[in-house]
Amino acid sequence: MEAATRTTATRPAATQPKATRPTATRTTAIRASFGLTGATIAALAVLVALPLAFVFLQAIFPALAQGRFTEPFGHLGRTLGDPALLELTLNTLKLGACVVALAALIGIPLGTLRGLFNVPFARVWDVVLLVPFMIPPYIAALGWIMLLQPRGYVQQLVGVHAGPLLFSFGGVVFVMTLNVLPVVYFAVSRGMAASGSRLADVGRVCGGGAWRCFWRISLPLATPGIAASLLLVFAMAIEEYGTPAALAANAGFFVLVTGIERRFSEWPIDLPGASTLSLILVALAMLAFMFQRRLMRGRTFETATGKPIDVELRALGPWRLPVTALFALVALVATVAPLCAIVATAFSRTLSGGLALSNLSWVHFRAIAQTGGDAMQALGTSLALGLGAALLTGVLGLLVAYCVVKTRTRGRVLLDALAMLPNTLPGIVVGVGLILAWNQKWWPATPYNTWGILLLAYCCLLLPYPVRYAQAALQQIGDSLEAAARVHGAGAVTALVRILLPLLAPSLLAAMLLVFAVASRELVASLLLAPTGVQTVSLFIWRQFEQGSVGQGMAMSVVTVLVTTSLMLTVTLWTQRRAAR
């Protein structure tokens, strides 16, 4: 891995106008490149910077919500002077670090096996391991509770429970890791498949042992993907509210997000305090972000040269059976177990009736059908918003990644950081930021109180996925490809669309599927931002729970997971068939 600075010196002319005399084509290319960057910056400004700026202002000006800029920093002393703050911060870091470690421990080996070897039922595992993402975290946590608590389903079946284990720090790490596992698994498997195999084969030809080639070639080449996904996991872990609130609050383990949520729900509402805690969260994520950049600096990962990629996966040989068993085990724990609890509850007439044939009933599904189309409307709204968010973040993510990785635009680090930030913001903070930003009287028009505000919220919250995935993939694509296109007269945009996009498609599509899955079940921001009269799936489910109808909520979750899974399956199969053609 040579130093990146070397490569910079030979970047294509478009970004180094002074080095060569600009020809007409090049001038256009430069303009296009600037236009691209400009548009990207503008979009990020609207989507991310604006709500974040208002959160920042709210932390400084306690009366901002009332439209006054009085008493700047009036609240800061009280919030920062709270002795619990240090503990909350340390707990948050501890939780993030442990989830990252465990997700890496499970996700990297699994992703590697999937990316490099011919794993039996590979497609099945891909789908099954995507399911945890379609189960809202609070539902998954509830599923685990009903599975493992005293008198839970496991005890009803085999007579043992794991209550104390579940309601603890370890329990939170366990459940959360299973929720975020797809991020690492997909990033690693796609990254490995794209790069690791062929060069490792070269290594083998040159006499390197299998392990040596893996450690020296495949693994290092996949680092961008691994590091990027682990950064996402860290951000998700410190941002997630439902799981720690449901599982660890009892054990006296509190994190920044629970503190933020509390300031938002405890009367009187403490907007400035919550904003200040949010900024601490953002700072933590920025540290992780800087750490990741440091880790990646001075290396290049260019492996895609445009030559036909050898997609042949290696045979597992005698390891076939153990590897299959490993995948089955992870799928069983991560997906099947919580899903079983959800399905069991959905089909139980009453929760107190337990697992009994006499308690089996369609009643909850029938109740959903009887809501007069409300449930289906909610599903439609969520799917449409998920699709919209996936498309918008996909395009934007690609643009951000391109500007950051392939251009030398000044401020691209800022662009990169800006695209990362939202993932560290709890949904409720983005929600408040968006209200503060868009409910101002001076806007001539505003998306506030329309479904557009939900789309903005989802795009803001989920932008980091496509950005991270596309960046990791872009870092593996050699500059020579684009340069070749430019030499043949293609502008920046044409090169991007015709050369880079096809190469990025698998990673980008994986990220967009994740966005779709997460957006179609997002709860916390929706709870705050839902325009009057608009209902999403998560709101529907949450209202059932609030109403004491756990069974109906779970039935709706089952329907949603079924619909989203089959939709995503269709998309995946369709793209695969297209690729095969």
Partner 1 sequence: MQIRNSVLGLCLTLGAVVASPAANALTVYTAGPAGLAKQLADDFKKSTGITVDVFQADTGKVMARLEAEAGNPRADIVISASWDSALDLDKRGWLLPYVSPNAATVPAAYKGPSYVAQGLSALAIVWNTQSGTPRPKDWNDLTQPAFKDKVNMPDPAQSGTALELLSGLQAAQNDTAWKLFSALKANGMAIAGPNAQAMNPVLQGAKAAVFGAVDYVALGSQASGEAIEVIFPSSGTVIAARPMMILKSSKAAADAKRFIDFVLSNEGQARVAATFLVPARTDVPSRRPSVKDIKALPAENDADRAGRQALLERFSTLYQRK
Q: Which of the residues 199 through 258 are near partner 1 (CB under 8 A)?
A: 245-246, 249-250, 252, 254, 258
- Which neighbouring-strand residues pair with 310? none
Residue 29 identity: A
Does 149 contact partner 1 by CB under 8 A?
Answer: yes
Spatial contact of 393 and 382, defined as CB atoms under 8 Å apart:
no
Nearer to partner 1, 314 or 488 (CB): 488
Residue 199 in tokens: 């060069």
Alpha helices (H) along 117-218: 122-134, 137-148, 153-158, 163-166, 169-191, 197-205, 210-213
Q: How large is the C-alpha radius of gyration of the chain?
A: 24
Nearer to partner 1, 207 or 352 (CB): 352
Of the residues 4, 43, 50, 340, which one makes contact with partner 1 according to CB under 8 A: 43
- Smallest gap from residue 562 Cβ to partner 1 (A): 23
Number of neighbours of residue 483 by Cβ within 10 angstroms: 17
Residue 572 identity: T
Does 369 contact partner 1 by CB under 8 A?
Answer: no
Residues 346-365 that bind partner 1 (CB under 8 A): 349-354
Tell me, by CB under 8 A, how many residues bind partner 1: 83
Nearer to partner 1, 480 or 494 (CB): 494
Does 94 contact partner 1 by CB under 8 A?
Answer: no
Spatial contact of 491 and 28, defined as CB atoms under 8 Å apart:
yes
- Smallest gap from residue 45 Cβ to partner 1 (A): 12
Q: Which stretch binds partner 1 (CB under 8 A): 73-81, 150-158, 185-193, 419-427?
A: 150-158
Spatial contact of 394 and 466, defined as CB atoms under 8 Å apart:
yes
What span, in angstroms and rounded, lies between the C-alpha atoms of 381 and 340?
26
Does 117 contact partner 1 by CB under 8 A?
Answer: no
What span, in angstroms and rounded, lies between the C-alpha atoms of 127 and 475?
26
Nearer to partner 1, 131 or 392 (CB): 392
Spatial contact of 99 and 202, defined as CB atoms under 8 Å apart:
no
Does 338 contact partner 1 by CB under 8 A?
Answer: no
Residues 256-285 that bind partner 1 (CB under 8 A): 258-259, 262, 264-269, 271
- Smallest gap from residue 81 Cβ to partner 1 (A): 15
**3-class DSSP state for residue 304?**
strand
Q: Which residue has the tokens 């421990």?
A: 105
Residues 153-172 that bind partner 1 (CB under 8 A): 163
Q: Which stretch binds partner 1 (CB under 8 A): 118-126, 197-205, 477-485, 494-502?
A: 494-502
Spatial contact of 12 and 483, defined as CB atoms under 8 Å apart:
yes
- Smallest gap from residue 64 Cβ to partner 1 (A): 8
Nearer to partner 1, 320 or 543 (CB): 543
What span, in angstroms and rounded, lies between the C-alpha atoms of 263 and 564?
34
Nearer to partner 1, 117 or 438 (CB): 438
Residues 385-414 that bind partner 1 (CB under 8 A): 388, 392, 395-396, 398-399
x/- string (CB under 8 A) for partner 1, residues 422-451?
Answer: ------x---x--xx--xxx---xxx-xxx
Of the residues 123, 151, 297, 366, which one makes contact with partner 1 according to CB under 8 A: 151
Nearer to partner 1, 3 or 90 (CB): 90
What span, in angstroms and rounded, lies between the C-alpha atoms of 291 and 214?
24
**3-class DSSP state for residue 449?**
coil
Nearer to partner 1, 11 or 349 (CB): 349
Does 46 contact partner 1 by CB under 8 A?
Answer: yes
Q: Which residue has the tokens 């062929």?
A: 198
Quick one: DSSP state of residue 532?
Answer: T
In our burial notation (b when 16+ CB lie closer than 10 A, e otherwise), range 94-126 reads ebbebbbebbbebbbebbbbbbbbebeeeeebb
- Smallest gap from residue 189 Cβ to partner 1 (A): 27
Does 35 contact partner 1 by CB under 8 A?
Answer: yes
What span, in angstroms and rounded, lies between the C-alpha atoms of 561 and 502?
30
- Phi (first) and psi of residue 360, to 5 degrees: -70, 135
- Smallest gap from residue 395 Cβ to partner 1 (A): 4
Of the residues 108, 146, 192, 193, which one makes contact with partner 1 according to CB under 8 A: 146
Q: Which residue has the tokens 């975290």?
A: 137
What span, in angstroms and rounded, lies between the C-alpha atoms of 305 and 328?
35
Does 55 contact partner 1 by CB under 8 A?
Answer: no
Nearer to partner 1, 211 or 442 (CB): 442
Residue 119 identity: V
Nearer to partner 1, 292 or 520 (CB): 520
Does 512 contact partner 1 by CB under 8 A?
Answer: no
Does 467 contact partner 1 by CB under 8 A?
Answer: no
- Smallest gap from residue 33 Cβ to partner 1 (A): 12
3-state class percentages of the chain: helix first, strand second, coil last, to nearest 5: 75, 0, 25
Does 90 contact partner 1 by CB under 8 A?
Answer: no
Q: Which stretch binds partner 1 (CB under 8 A): 10-18, 32-40, 114-122, 314-322?
A: 32-40
Q: Which residue has the tokens 């890791």?
A: 177
Nearer to partner 1, 142 or 176 (CB): 142
